[in-house]
Chain A
Amino acid sequence: MWRIHKYAAGLLLVCGTAVAEAGGGDLVTASAQGEQVYARCAGCHSPDRNRAGPMHCGLLGRLSGTVEGFSYSEAMRQAEITWNTETLDAFLEDPTGYVPGTSMGISGISDAGQRQALVAWLSTLTIGSALCPPGAKP
């Protein structure tokens, strides 16, 4: 749960130019940069606990609006989106456009490289990984 510090620690590199290069790197590099991008999400999200936004452990492959114990918008509950690299990329680019009525009312990440890096990092949050102990399963 304490990993939120780690995201804060990466803030120095969160500015656009630093992470915009993620699109051309390999997956490992993209993932590392994605962790820095994730600092932006830390106001509402954590990997292993529900906050103002739902937890992200086990996100890839999950059906939208199904994390136990989280109160979703009606729009997200009805969206029937399976989160994968493509759907996450589209949602992160324009959350309110991709799921009108979502509670995630932010402008989205316009830089494709940053989105790719963030999705690469989110994909590492599998149940049983370092940040996602079995108890974090939704």
Chain B
Amino acid sequence: MKPLIKQPQSTALVTQTAQATRRKFLKQSGAVTFSGLAIAMLGGASHAHAAGTSDEAAQQDIRILNTAIAAEHEAVAAYQVGAESGLLSSEVLSVAVAFQGHHKEHVDALVKAVRSLGGTEVEPLAQYQFPVEKLKQQSDVLQFAAGLERGAVSAYAGAIPVFDNRDLAGAAASILADEAMHWAVLRHALGLDPVPGAFFS
């Protein structure tokens, strides 16, 4: 991994990107529609279930959703560690907090889906084991977050084909897209190619 390249330009771009992201996805009406669509897809799982999805298939979907919820809870906690580390510039901190907010929204939507299927969502752990002793500078925090986001992309990519409920698969794809954007922004902040390839799994 390349060390953090101290590029004010990168930081500025990250900030601009995040601000644009927030403007587009959180404030504009179209963004609300997108977010609402994802949540609606997740919350609408009960319709497919009622239409004939087998109990075992629903239970499998609940297990997948709960694994995703567990990972999303961890991401929220990880960004909290980063935010409280004192290592982030104000600009990067605002990005981290925005990304954390996305993960919180993912949790909320996924929990709603689990409940719609008649399941019970997993709770966040009382304590997470993070390599805090390794967080010495801002780049460490960014690398840590980037690793989590990249892993999340793969997790959702692997889960999408397994969902019995196609609405859930579609909603998971929308979350995957968000995680991938996070990953790209973090890579760019680290001075890496934000999109290093055409295919990822």
Contacts and interface: CB of A to CB of B under 8 A. Distances in A.
Contact of B67 (A12, A14, A52): A52
B31 to A, nearest CB: 25
Contact of A52 (B74, B150, B161): B74
Interface stretch (B17-25, B39-47, B110-118, B126-134): B126-134
B156 to A, nearest CB: 8
A4 B147 contact: yes
Contact of A16 (B1, B131, B153, B199): B199
Contacts, number: 115
B199 A51 contact: no
B201 A16 contact: yes
Per DSSP, are chain A's interface residues mostly helix, strand or loop, or mixed? loop
- Could you tell me the dominant secondary structure of chain B's interface residues? helix
A15 B143 CA distance: 20
A2 B150 contact: no
Contacts of B130: 1
Interface in B1-28: 1
Interface string A1-26: 11011111101101110000000000
A51 B150 contact: no
A103 B198 contact: no
A39 B197 contact: no
Interface string A82-113: 00000000000000100001111111100000
B162 A7 contact: no
Interface stretch (A41-49, A59-67, A121-129): A41-49
B63 A43 contact: no
B66 to A, nearest CB: 7
A12 B196 contact: yes
A8 B67 contact: no
A78 interface: no
A39 B193 CA distance: 17
Contacts of B74: 51-52
B155 interface: yes
Given A4-B147, A96-B162, A105-B67, A42 B134 contact: no
B173 interface: no
B150 A96 contact: no
A42 B148 contact: yes
Interface string A29-59: 0000000000111111000011111000000
A16 B199 CA distance: 8
A4 B131 contact: yes
27 contacts: A1-B133, A4-B147, A5-B140, A7-B147, A7-B150, A8-B143, A11-B150, A14-B200, A39-B147, A39-B150, A39-B151, A40-B151, A41-B154, A42-B147, A42-B151, A43-B71, A43-B152, A43-B156, A44-B151, A44-B155, A51-B71, A51-B74, A101-B59, A103-B66, A105-B162, A106-B162, A107-B162
Interface of A: 1-2, 4-9, 11-12, 14-16, 39-44, 49-53, 73, 96, 101-108
Nearest 6 pairs between A and B by C-beta?
Answer: A43-B151, A106-B158, A42-B151, A105-B64, A1-B131, A43-B155
